[in-house]
Amino acid sequence: MVGIVSGNRIRASVVQFGFCGDRAEALSATARAFCTEVVSAAVRPMALARIRWRQERGDIVVVVSGALDVYLKHWCKDHGLELICSRLEEHDGILTGGYQEAQCIGEEKRRRIRERYDLESFEHVYAYGDTRDDAEMLELAHTRFFRWKLVSGGESHG
């Protein structure tokens, strides 16, 4: 019998195995290098161009991700972006192998966005997603793109 293990459980296990007992400061330095070498190369040029275009328009651009703060915070800071993501838990500078709160996926993305932003105060909200974990976040937006395609019900303004 083959069982299916959720991505949520797999990610939690990887975090537990990979980070439990590590010094947060040392991991941050390693993550900085990872951000420079790997994350920057992995971001699609089209996505970065869209981010820059939105920034030039004066829009608030927020990266909302299930990925870890330890490296995303560096990339977002380098690009002038706000960040909502999964955050590693630490006590006295040592990582516990857990998350500070729930993984930032699915409903948790929606909850955190609403917690941080009064969406009613924005004239128009755009959202871009590329995984099933983005569905609840996309529902918050006036205009929604999934894998760079306009989702029905949204209006296209870019």
Whole-prediction pTM: 0.88
Q: What is the pLDDT of residues 11-64, one digit of tens each?
A: 888 888 888 889 998 888 888 888 888 888 888 899 999 999 999 999 999 999
Q: For residue 130, count other CB atoms closer than 10 A to its CB.
A: 12
**Alpha-carbon dihedral sign for residues 85, 88, 89, 91:** negative
Q: What is the pLDDT of residues 130-141, one digit of tens each?
A: 999 999 999 999
Which of the four CATH numbers 3.40.109.10, 3.40.50.1000, 3.90.380.10, 3.40.50.2300 does domain 7-150 have?
3.40.50.1000
Identify whether the C-beta of residue 125 lies closer than 8 Å to the C-beta of residue 140.
yes
**Alpha-carbon dihedral sign for residues 138, 51, 41, 100:** negative
* Domains in the chain: boundaries: 7-150
